[in-house]
Amino acid sequence: MRNALKFTSVLATAGVALSLAACGSSGSSGSSDPNAPLTVAASPTPHGQILKYVKDNLAEKAGLKLDIKEVTDYVTPNTAVQDGSADANYFQHVPYLEDFNKKHGTTIVSVEPVHLEPLGVYSKKVKSVTEIPDGATIGLPNDATNEGRALKLLADNKLITLKEGAGTAATPADITANPKNLKWKELEAAQLPRSVSDLDAAVINGNYALDSGLKPATDAIVLEKAEGNPYANILAVKKGKENDPRVKKLAELLHSAEVKKFIDDNFQGSVVPAF
C-alpha cells in the first residue's frame, strides 16, 4: 500500500513541478523585481484560500502582484522554492521544514508564522478517545515530524506513553506503554481522510481534514491545543530572499487585522491565527 501511495504522490508532484517550472521560465518567478508577481506555492486549504483573500482584497492596494500555485503534496512547494520556480511557499510548519532541509540539503527559511491547523483524531466508529477499543488500528501521517506530532497528541490524551525526549521525531518505536495494544497504519497525510472509514481512528492534518469536508472544530474527537504549539504554518522562502520587498509586503498583509478576521470568520476554530 505504501509503495502505491508513494507512486501516486510522485505522479502528482511531477505534474505540479512541470507547472511551476513553466511559470518560472516566463520570468515571473525567481526575481526580486518589486514589480514582478510573487509566485507562492501553497496547499489549497486553507493556505490557498487565505492567499486568495489577500490577492482579491489587499494586494492591489499594497502594490503587490500575487501568483498563487496550489500544490497538493508536501514536497513540491519546497523543491520549487529551492530551484527558483516559486518565490515562496505557504504550507508547512518549522519542524517539518527543518527536517526537510536536513534530508534534502535545501536552504529554506521561515519568514513569519501565519496560522495553526490543529491536528485532530477522527473516527467513524467512536465518539471519544476513551471509546477507542483494545487492538484498534490508528492511522498516522508517515512523514517524520507529523508522525511525531500525531503520537504526541495520542500521548497527551493518555492512549500511549512516549519515551522521554522523543520529541517531534517520535515514531511507534518510541512508545514505551501501549495499554490498549493499538496498531498503527502509516499513510501519506493526504490519504488519511479517505482511509478513516477503514480504520478505527486516524490522526489527520487540519488542511487535509478541511479539504475532505471534515470540520476539525466539530468533527474531531480530540484536537491539539493552540497554546504553546510549535506547529504554526509559515510563509517560507529560500535563504537570502527574506528581504525581498514583495515577500516582506506579503508577510505584512498575512499579519493584518483583515486576514485575522478572515481566518476567524471562515474557519471558526478549525484554523487559528498565529499572530
pLDDT level of residue 207 (50, 70, 90 thresholds): confident
Please name which of 56, 53, 51 lies closest in space to residue 39, comparing C-alpha atoms.
Answer: 51
Summarised one tens digit per residue, pLDDT across range 147-179 is 999 999 999 999 999 999 998 789 999 999 999
List 161's β-bridge partners, or say none. Answer: 177
Summarised one tens digit per residue, pLDDT across range 35-56 is 899 999 999 999 999 999 999 9
Distance of CA 174 to the CA centre of its chain: 23
Question: Given a cut of 90, is residue 145 above it in pLDDT?
Answer: no
Cell numbers that stand for 57 in this block:
482584497
Q: Residue 20's pLDDT is what?
A: 61
More confident residue, 3 or 224: 224
Q: Residue 9's pLDDT is what?
A: 36
Q: Residue 32's pLDDT is what?
A: 63
Q: Residue 221's pLDDT is what?
A: 97
Question: Given a cut of 60, is residue 16 above it in pLDDT?
Answer: no
pLDDT level of residue 4 (50, 70, 90 thresholds): very low
Question: Given a cut of 90, is residue 100 above it in pLDDT?
Answer: yes
Q: Residue 218's pLDDT is what?
A: 92
**Average pLDDT of the residues in 17-29:** 44
Q: Please give the domain boundaries of the chain with CATH numbers for all domains.
A: 2-118+230-273 (3.40.190.10), 120-223 (3.40.190.10)
Q: Please report, as a single letter, which amino acid is at residue 14.
A: A
**C-alpha distances in Å from residue 213, one per residue of 41, 119, 180, 198, 218:** 22, 15, 30, 17, 12
Question: Given a cut of 70, is residue 138 above it in pLDDT?
Answer: yes
> If you average pLDDT over every residue of the chain, what do you get?
88
The dihedral through the CA atoms of 185, 190, 192, 198 has a sign that is: negative
| Order of strands across the sheet that contains 120-122 | 183-187, 137-141, 201-204, 120-122, 222-223
Asked if the peptide bond before residue 34 counts as cis, ω within 30 degrees of 0, the response is no
Q: Residue 21's pLDDT is what?
A: 47
Q: Are 135 and 180 in contact (CB under 8 A)?
A: yes
pLDDT level of residue 1 (50, 70, 90 thresholds): very low
Distance between CA 38 and CA 28 in Å, rounded? 7
Q: Residue 229's pLDDT is what?
A: 82
